[in-house]
Chain A
Amino acid sequence: MGFRNFIKSKTLLSFITAFMLLGTNVLMAQTEAAATPGGQPDAPQVDWTGVSYYLLLFFLICLGIAVVGKILKIYDLTLKIQGKKGMKWNTVMAVFCLVFLAVGLYGAYWSFTVQGSMTLPEAASVHGVKIDEMFTVTTVLTMIVFFATQILLFTFLFNYRHSEKRRAHFLPHNNTIEKVWTIAPAIVLTILVVFGFFTWQKIMDNTDAKGEVASINVDITGHQFAWELRYPGKDGKLGPKDFKMVSAANKLGVNFKKKSSFDDLSADTMYLPVNRSVRLNIQAQDVIHSVYMPHFRVQLNAVPGLPTFFKFTPTITTAQMRTKLDDPKFEYLVYCNKICGGGHYNMQKVVRVVTEAEYQAWLSRQKPYLTDQLRKELHFAAADQPKTGIQNRLALNN
């Protein structure tokens, strides 16, 4: 009889050990998860005395697993000695599947609520709102499928776990149901495609429609590892560029053969007037960069030798966004989002969306691109004197 009790305690023991085994990773998850909402980068850390500490820890865990393994084996053997069938691993795994489903669903829910709330604020541009709508529709549709299929998957695993008593249901195919689940996704995807196709065409259309107020041209050029900005002057036109014209003072290689180049302005911060259409002229000098302004849902690569354009209309000023997010330091930013070298991770430019009046005031304070040094370089005798053919040639020879 004592032996029987021993077995019982063994059952208990093996459950505890199995629990601990699982617990190691759950525990790790919990401590980390607990640290997450704190949001402090300097949360109490483990003492980094050395690797040997971790190696020892790992060795101990391995030892623990080995001990548990042996215990399970002995338990299994004793069951068999008693003439019973050994551990029912199929049932254990089936239960694990169910537990995983429950914990996983909760984890997904937690992730959606906690981490989901850390995502980008509402779109600050006209087309961005459309993108966000589309995102919501897609999310709802896919999440229905996600939860349905994962729940089915893991409940099937539990429900139809192995049993000696029954046989599987022989079902090689069923044409009706197969047709249904071919056509159903096809229909859903067609809706998404049509919806997406027209939105995409509209967003990517970078010509101004007739009767519309002309877009503000802003020139943004990427190089390792910074962005350069150029605004048009009073004529509203940006002068053409030629990479062969690049020099120390003419960083962008603006071609001063054309009149429109003379009044161009250079800027440090990208100021944009709210509710005005902006056409970003994007280019790169050395390698591919990518202009990424997530708050405006704007992204387009900057490719050397291939000028690209993105037209969008900001709708929320920086000041408004600051109050909305309750963050007085908030700034819109341009990131680089295409691997471009060692400094790729820190290629930012501040973007300020302001009112029309503020924008005009700011614009009037900007310095012309044609600096004194550049004039000297180009051998311009007098500042306002229009260029002559000879000077052009000089400029070229330079």
Chain B
Amino acid sequence: MSTLAVHDHGVAHHDDHGHEHHHNQSFLSKYVFSMDHKMISKQFLITGITMAVIAMILSILFRIQLAYPDKTFPLLTTLLGRFAPNGRISADFYLSLVTIHGTIMVFFVLTAGLSGTFANLLIPLQIGARDMASPFMNMLSYWFFFIASVIMLSSFLVQKGPASGGWTIYPPLSALPKAMPGSGMGMTLWLVSMVFFIASSLIGGINYVSTVLNMRTKGMDLWKMPLTIWALFLTAILGMLAFPVLVAGVVLLIFDRSFGTSFYLSDIVLNGVQQPYEGGSPILFQHLFWFLGHPEVYIVIMPAMGISSEVMSVNSRKPIFGYHAMVYSLIGITVLSFIVWGHHMFVTGMNPFLGGVFMITTLIIAVPSAVKTFNWLATLWRGNIRFTPAMLFAIGMVSFFISGGLTGIFLGNATLDINLHDTYFVVAHFHLVMGSAAIFGMLAGVYHWFPKMFGKMMDEKLGYLHFWLTFIGAYLVFFPMHFMGLDGVPRRYYAFTEFVSMQRWLTVNTFVTWAAIMAACAQVAFLYNFITSIFIGKKATQNPWESNTLEWTTPVEHLHGNWPGEIPTVYRWPYDYSKPGAEEDYIPQTVPFSQTMSSNLPTDFEDNPKGLEELNKFQSTLKANEQVK
């Protein structure tokens, strides 16, 4: 009933809208302070891509330092000034680079850039809504994100450089301005930026959840939603519950830094001077941080999973295998992700018994992840696979998810974590499973929904080039790192020159750096493709991928309110691809069963006895006809 009501509301809204159309929107309200979900998603995407490019350049800078720790590059001094005296990046600035690279990638690219883009674009379009529940909040969400990005980047301009305590900003290092240069003004800016960022995430998340719950079109019950929507919906819930805890942690850290409290600090002697802090615990911060931090990695990967599921189903011309299992595993991951945070803290001095408990919960979460992987493989099995760039990236996501996920079984095991914690093994693990996999999910989404966003097609061949160079590059970069970790090489080391045992890894580091540079250059192919396609790309047709979901029933030209007439009604699940007996190899969600009698199956009418009766009647008449013949 509620969907009916919403539907009516939508129509009414549209009627109002007919008048609005005659007003010409000003540049400011159309492109800048837009409240249209499609424009906001583009804003998120372009800001996200910009931030990704910046973070990628930062990574190349520190990769150069790791590959050539003894070489001087005068250009670096020209570019970075005091941060790279005498042609070498300084140790403190190296840590800043690592920190900001991590922060930008995790939060600004893979949280806001990924969820922000696709939740805004797909939620209204795929559930059949005219816009988000609250367009104004949606706009606020973007602008808070934008402010957060500006503040984060502005920390490069302060005297002592940006925050440099690692993206996890563990106190006391981050709490004591004298502990390292980056813990001064740079850290303050980091914290302020994060507060804005979290506000943005929360506003966005509330909007996504309420839109999905309240504004689905007629017939779109929860079990008819595409997996993208399920993933984005659960991601938003996860973010809403987890991010506030980080705010709490960050605010207490601000108190410790600026107002002399001792939430995280105790018994500290810095440079031979006793500090007046007593009674706090650095472990408390880690609990608060990872209570967000672990759900955060699922906030990053779940939209990528949803996008890949959708893209793989469309391009295999096959229904996603085990739709219900896919949804239940997403729900399982959502719930479990709240009780596994302690696996980041096995060796931090947390009570070892607690470590044992977290180890059990952590390894349980591998089960839904395994189910998802097998279901993806089963989706490809006996498919009719079209290799669009989006499909390739979705496949890459699966490959990375397997490679990186399996090493998670090592790290989730407290016993093995003793020797692997904070080594390059961890770096390899999370860059594959959440870095590369999530960014590949995002790129799959960009290639797949580019025609919907911009009304143009991207160049396929450049997409192929981009995919293969990035895919090979990522493996070349991260695969050798596992072995460095197994040799006990710690992460966040400025140079491997001081330890004799690490010097033999220098050649591997050089190789990794060149692989990274190659992969970075490949992104030029993407950027060129992305930008030129917006302007001179081939015009997109309405449903270029022959997909079932609702967004492809909207006209190519964007209009406020998405559908020119009534919002379409949904009759079936989104994965009726290659149904036997159907004319085409896809049946959009808007096609009622009465029009596809020849392809209907008894299972389509599990909760619809009338429909089943009809089907039986139809089949018996068919049989009768055949007998007559």
B418 touching A162, Cβ below 8 Å? no
Chain A residue numbers with a CB within 8 Å of B170 are: 288, 338-339
Pair A172/B575 contact, Cβ less than 8 Å? yes
Bound-state Cα–Cα, A301 to B422, Å: 11
What's the nearest-Cβ distance from chain B to residue A318, in Å? 14
Q: Name the distance in Å between B189's Cβ and chain A's nearest Cβ.
A: 19
Cross-chain contact of B472 among A25, A152, A204 (Cβ < 8 A): A25
Asked whether A305 and B511 contact (CB < 8 A) given A90-B386, A160-B383, the answer is: no
- Which B residues between 590 and 614 are near A, CB-CB below 8 angstroms? 603
Contact of B419 among A33, A152, A297 (CB under 8 A): A297
CB distance A181 to B494 under 8 Å? no
Tell me whether B387 and A94 are in contact (CB under 8 A).
Answer: yes
User: B494, A138: Cβ atoms under 8 Å?
Assistant: no
A319 within 8 A of B: no
B415 touches A200 (CB 8 A): yes
* Cβ < 8 Å to B, chain A residues 241-259: 243-244, 246, 248, 251, 253
Cβ-defined contact, B507 with A134, below 8 A: no
Q: Tell me whether B363 and A192 are in contact (CB under 8 A).
A: yes
Contact of A153 among B270, B402, B460, B495 (CB under 8 A): B402
By beta carbon, the residue of chain B nearest A309 is B349
Q: Chain A 357-396, CB within 8 Å of chain B: the 1/0 string?
A: 0000000000000000000000000000000000000000
Docked-complex contact B356 and A200, CB < 8 angstroms: yes
B378 in complex: contacting residue of A163, A171, A340, CB < 8 Å: A171
Q: Is the interface of B mostly helix, strand, loop or mixed?
A: helix
Asked if B323 is at the interface (CB within 8 A of a chain A CB), the reply is yes
Cα–Cα distance between A348 and B508 once the two chains are bound (Å): 23
A83 within 8 A of B: no
Max chain B C-beta neighbours (<10 A), residue from A306, A338, A345: A345
Using an 8 Å CB-CB cutoff, how does the interface string of B18-58 with A read, 1 for contact, 0 for none?
00000000000000000000000000000000000000000
Q: Is B227 an interface residue (CB 8 A)?
A: no
Which chain B residues lie closer than 8 Å to A13 at the CB level?
Answer: none
Known contacts A43-B507, A138-B409, A182-B371; A25 and B473 CB within 8 A of each other: yes
Q: Is the CB of A341 within 8 A of B387?
A: no
Which residues of the partner chain A approach B71 to less than 8 Å between Cβ atoms? 48
**Residue A169 interfacial (CB < 8 Å):** yes
Interface check A218, CB cutoff 8 A: no
- A347–B345 Cα gap in the complex (Å)? 22
User: Which residues of the other chain, A, contact B166 by a CB distance below 8 angstroms?
Assistant: 339
* B283–A153 CB distance below 8 A: no
A205–B324 alpha-carbon span in the complex (Å): 44
Flag A53-91 by CB within 8 Å of B: 1 or 0 each.
000001001100100010010000000000000000110
Q: State how many angstroms separate the Cβ of A50 from the closest Cβ of chain B.
A: 8
The 17 sampled A-B contact pairs (Cβ below 8 Å) are: A35-B507, A69-B461, A97-B395, A119-B487, A156-B383, A160-B383, A163-B384, A167-B580, A174-B321, A181-B371, A193-B360, A200-B413, A200-B414, A297-B418, A303-B283, A303-B348, A343-B91
A192-B413, A344-B492 are known contacts; what are 7 more A-B pairs with Cβ within 8 Å? Answer: A35-B510, A51-B75, A142-B409, A169-B578, A288-B173, A299-B347, A299-B422
Q: Mark A residues whose CB is within 8 Å of B.
A: 21-22, 25, 28-29, 32-33, 35-36, 38-41, 43, 48, 50-51, 58, 61-62, 65, 69, 72, 89-90, 93-94, 96-97, 100, 104, 107-108, 111, 115-116, 118-120, 128, 130-131, 134-135, 138-139, 141-143, 145-146, 149-150, 152-153, 156-157, 160-163, 166-174, 177-178, 181-182, 185-186, 189, 192-193, 196-197, 199-201, 203-205, 223-224, 243-244, 246, 248, 251, 253, 285-288, 290, 292, 294-295, 297-301, 303-306, 308, 329, 333, 335-346, 348
